């Protein structure tokens, strides 16, 4: 690396600061991202395999960010990578067992990450109505599949909330 | 946008299970991979710029060597300026 006095030193300092900021970011947001990846893939090992290249891409683009939210960037990258996975790597298991990859994406983005419908639709490249329909179908499937001890009780009864 | 919904809250509660523990070496591994991506990107950029520079130099040299010489003006037979 040719060192032109101040330029090389400044770049080195920027890279050192980038590494420190990235480590702090992963320590803070990594758990939530890993949980998202686990919900998507349904398998902790696969989630880790999905998260590692995501974080590497975020690290590689760290110095190009101009006041953006790194968490937003990482989430977009994570979901983009999950959506573009080949069809033979279907997710199965986990909390969202039985849902299609698209339903997993929409449910995780809407209900775990708390992204609004319009933004989820824009991020996934789907019409908003479609996202709403997918979310409704997936929630119905989840609610019918989930074991609910308080279901037979009438609506006004006290709800025993587990956890 | 949509009003708060009891069913959606139920789904949210279902998804919000305790978070898995972050593996210890994940940040270090991601940093190493990121460095590798950057190094590879820098190498590709350097190679492409070198190729472009070489192509430009080659084009200039070839143009200088192979430029067709302008034909010498034909001495006789011109009608202008009238020679007499």
Chain A residue numbers touching B31 (CB-CB < 8 A):
19, 22-23, 59
Do residue A85 and residue A24 come from a single domain?
A: yes
In a domain, A101, yes or no: yes
In a domain, A161, yes or no: no
CA distance A111 to A36: 11
In a domain, A157, yes or no: no
In a domain, A128, yes or no: yes
CB A82, CB A50: distance < 8 Å: yes
CA distance A38 to A32: 10
| Cα B81 → chain centroid | 57
> In angstroms, what CA-CA distances link A78 with A11, A50, A57, B1?
28, 7, 10, 25
What pLDDT, on the 0 to 100 scale, is given for residue A1? 52
Angle A100-A101-A107 from CA coordinates, rounded to 5°: 90
Classified as helix, coil or strand, A137 is helix
Q: Does B27 touch chain A (CB under 8 A)?
A: yes
What pLDDT, on the 0 to 100 scale, is given for residue A159? 46
Number of domains comprising chain A: 2
Q: Say yes or no to pLDDT of A151 above 60.
A: no
Closest CA to B36 of A139, A159, A124, A52: A52
Do residue A99 and residue A136 come from a single domain?
A: yes
Chain B residue numbers touching A62 (CB-CB < 8 A):
34
CATH of the domain at A110: 1.10.10.10
Do residue A36 and residue A99 come from a single domain?
A: no
Radius of gyration of the CA atoms of chain A, in A? 20
Q: Say yes or no to pLDDT of A3 above 60.
A: no
Domain that holds residue A32: 10-94
From the list B20, B23, B37, the residue facing A35 with the nearest CB is: B20
ipTM: 0.77
> What would the pLDDT profile of B27-68 be if each residue is shown by its tens digit?
999 999 999 999 999 999 999 999 999 999 999 999 999 988
CB B34, CB A56: distance < 8 Å: yes
Do residue A75 and residue A132 come from a single domain?
A: no
> What would the pLDDT profile of A62-110 be if each residue is shown by its tens digit?
999 999 999 999 999 999 999 999 989 888 888 888 899 999 999 999 9
The residue written with tokens 């509660």 in the block is B13
| Cα A53 → chain centroid | 13
A116: left (phi over 0), alpha (psi -120 to 50) or beta: beta
Q: Say yes or no to pLDDT of A36 above 90.
A: yes
CA distance A30 to B45: 31
Do residue A14 and residue A66 come from a single domain?
A: yes
């Amino acid at each position: 690396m040719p060192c032109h006095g101040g330029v090389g030193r400044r770049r080195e300092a920027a890279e050192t600061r980038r590494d420190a900021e990235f480590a702090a970011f992963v320590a803070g947001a990594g758990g939530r991202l890993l949980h998202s990846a686990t919900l998507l893939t349904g398998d902790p090992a696969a989630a880790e395999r999905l998260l590692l290249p995501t974080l590497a891409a975020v690290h590689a683009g760290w110095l190009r960010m101009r006041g953006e939210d790194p968490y937003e960037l990482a989430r977009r990258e994570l979901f983009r990578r999950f959506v573009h996975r080949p069809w033979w790597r279907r997710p199965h298991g986990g909390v969202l067992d039985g849902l299609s990859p698209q339903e997993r994406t929409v449910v995780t983005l809407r209900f775990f990450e708390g992204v609004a419908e319009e933004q989820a639709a824009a991020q996934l490249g789907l019409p908003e109505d479609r996202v709403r329909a997918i979310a409704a179908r997936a929630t119905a499937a989840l609610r019918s599949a989930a074991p609910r001890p308080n279901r037979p009780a009438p609506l006004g009864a006290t709800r025993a909330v587990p956890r | 946008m949509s009003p708060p919904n009891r069913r959606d809250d139920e789904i949210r509660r279902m998804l919000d299970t305790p978070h898995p523990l972050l593996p210890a070496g994940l940040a270090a591994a991601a940093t190493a991979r990121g460095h590798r991506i950057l190094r590879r990107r820098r190498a590709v950029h350097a190679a492409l710029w070198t190729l472009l520079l070489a192509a430009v130099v080659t084009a200039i040299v070839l143009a200088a060597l192979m430029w067709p010489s302008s034909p010498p003006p034909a001495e006789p037979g011109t009608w202008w300026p009238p020679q007499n």
